[in-house]
Amino acid sequence: MHFEFLSGFIYIENLKGFLEKITEISESSGCTIQCLNADLVAGEKHLLFAVTKALRAFDQGKNAAKDMGIEIMRYASGKRQIEEAFSMGVHEGLNNIVFIIIGEMQAVSSCMDILKKMINTHDVISYLPFKREKIMEQFEITAEELAVVGEQMIPALVIERVALVDILK
């Protein structure tokens, strides 16, 4: 199984129509495609860890969601409940977006070509200070935690939250 990340900017006029288009691309290619709000992504390690956890959950039969994309979102969001995981999703209007594409290498490459035409590609995966407040809220990182470990540890705290998804009830 091969996976890639693709990120950039997109204006979504109709969310339902956009998600239907992503589903069409996914079904016709045989790939799993999950799109996330990149403003809530704390770097590539965050995504790699979430994807690895989701793939492992499926391999071990411990997945909470029936759909690989939803399972990835569940881990990436740091939320145990599927409904809460949708907080990592995209919305109508201007989005910083990251696509996670999983499948056979050739199929992933084809999906990337199609998706690149839908967005203005740009690195919006990296953790940048403008993401601070939204990430702190999403992952319930407190000012007290940051006072102890320092601002530079926000990406590590996010990965910790992802790691705890299966443990916290």
Write down the domain spans for the chain. 2-163
The single residue listed with the structure tokens 């696509």 is 99
Closest CA to 87 of 140, 127, 154: 140
3-state secondary structure of 13: coil
| Cα distance between residue 153 and residue 110, in whole Å | 36
- pLDDT tens-digit profile of 74-98? 999 999 899 999 999 999 999 999 9
For 40, 89, 131, 148, the CA distances from 144, given in Å and listed in that order, are 20, 28, 18, 6
- Superfamily (CATH) of domain 2-163: CGI121/TPRKB (3.30.2380.10)
- pLDDT tens-digit profile of 111-134? 999 999 999 999 999 999 999 999
- pLDDT tens-digit profile of 27-44? 999 999 999 999 999 999
Helix (H) / strand (E) containing 50: helix 44-59
